[in-house]
Structure 1
Amino acid sequence: MFYEPDQGHGLPHNPFSAIVAPRPIGWISTRAADGSDNLAPYSFFNAVAYEPPQVMFASTSAKADRGDTKDSVANIRETGVFALNIVEYALREAMNRTSGPWLRGVDEFADAGLEKGTCRTIDCAYVAAAPAVLECKLTQIVQLDGAANFVVFGEVTGVHLRDNCIVDGVFDVTRFSPLARLGYTDYAAVHEVFSMARPEAD
């Protein structure tokens, strides 16, 4: 099969999100200028630089009560900060709950029964149970082609690691089974890890 995206694919559901998979999930927590908290997952997310450490996530739709975007991007525009919570398999139901189309001002932490932690370098809440959290200051928001496509970049200013995930000085992902997005309504959890050394120059 071959298709050109602007001509349509003819399938019951868009296959694009299933092709680039698995994708890590950026569970983004933000605080609006009025002090209300928001939490939402984004699967267009990744780390993009080491020094200084930087991450990105993309928001690709809009809400009627937010104009051209969603709550996360709107809050970051106001405050210039956000927290990136890593999602584990054990938190899958809570993560999914926070993906709902809730109205502006709804506290997804409370709605999903999640305890909040208080960030140290930014004014924001985070998921206290998350295996890792990255506190971030906005560096830039880039608008892509399309009415609601925004990529948010942030510099990491603080890192939380759950103590039981540190084993022999290493942040061990096998201690919490990271959750990843596949396509459609499908997800995957990391249960098997293997190592490979990079080749050295001849």
Structure 2
Amino acid sequence: MYYETATNDHGLPHDPLKALVAPRPIGWISSLDAKGTPNLAPYSFFNLLSTHPTIVGFSSATLKDSQRNIEETGEFVCNFASVDLIDAVNITSKHVAADIDEFELAGLHQAPSRLISAPRVREARAHLECEYLKTVELPSAEGPMVWSLVLGRVLAVHIDDRYLKEGLVDTLAMEPLTRMGYMDYGVLGGVETRSRP
């Protein structure tokens, strides 16, 4: 099969691209609006982009509450999405009014951050406290979607001590929840280790 993205004429019932760039980590982003109302939403276009400085980024189509809050307050938290929290992650993807507390909606609890005001998800196994750097507007095609890439510098990291083994993070034991294509989530099935040549 071959198709060009400009026309997207793949002939399939759903766009296959997200199923090919997979699995993708989930940025479960918590923030506060200027009035102090919490917001929590998952983003599958998310990743660690650099170290020294440590920068993470997430993007989405259209302006959403997370982006608006982060640009107003200058901070956010990336909460570790794990398999046991799949239903909570999924519930927080629902489009709701800005004054709705997604923590409450998903039956989750807030935990205070150390360096910023935005709350962490208490149930998450790790957290990245971030300060907002900038938003990069991505080139847009014809249509209603305008994609924005939100960048943040990681100021502090929280890791549940249960997942530290012999000085290393046991990522497999943390059971990261990943995003696949369509409505599918993925889980890690194992680890293969190779030393760099």
Q: What's the TM-score bracket when you normalise by the shorter of the two chains? A: over 0.9
Q: What pairs with 1:1-202 in structure 2 (closer than 5 Å)? A: 1-9=1-9, 10-60=11-61, 62=62, 69-146=63-140, 147-199=145-197
Runs of 4+ in 1 over 6 A off after TM superposition: none
TM superposition shift of 1:19 = 1.3
TM superposition shift of 1:25 = 0.5
Q: Percent identity?
A: 43
- Alpha-carbon separation, structure 2, partners of 1:7 and 1:174: 39
- Alpha-carbon separation, structure 2, partners of 1:22 and 1:92: 15
TM superposition shift of 1:148 = 2.2
TM superposition shift of 1:76 = 0.8
Gap regions ≥5 residues in structure 2: none
TM superposition shift of 1:6 = 2.2
Aligned to 1:66: none
CA deviation profile, 1:86-106 (whole Å, cap 9, x unmatched): 111011110001001111111
Give yes or no for contact 1:164–1:175 (8 Å, CA) kept in 2: no
TM superposition shift of 1:174 = 2.2
TM superposition shift of 1:8 = 2.5
TM-score between both structures, scaled by the size of structure 1: 0.92
Give yes or no for contact 1:54–1:155 (8 Å, CA) kept in 2: yes
Give yes or no for contact 1:81–1:138 (8 Å, CA) kept in 2: yes
2:57 corresponds to which letter in structure 1? M
- Alpha-carbon separation, structure 2, partners of 1:7 and 1:100: 29
- Farther-moved stretch of structure 1 (8-17 vs 119-128): 8-17
TM-score between both structures, scaled by the size of structure 2: 0.94
- Alpha-carbon separation, structure 2, partners of 1:131 and 1:167: 14
TM superposition shift of 1:129 = 1.4
CA deviation profile, 1:26-71 (whole Å, cap 9, x unmatched): 00001000100000000111001111211111112x3xxxxxx011
**Count of residue pairs the alignment pairs up:** 192
- Alpha-carbon separation, structure 1, partners of 2:14 and 2:76: 32
- Alpha-carbon separation, structure 2, partners of 1:74 and 1:59: 12
CA deviation profile, 1:158-200 (whole Å, cap 9, x unmatched): 111011111111111122211111100111111312211000x
- Alpha-carbon separation, structure 1, partners of 2:102 and 2:76: 15
- Alpha-carbon separation, structure 2, partners of 1:165 and 1:110: 27
- Alpha-carbon separation, structure 1, partners of 2:133 and 2:115: 15
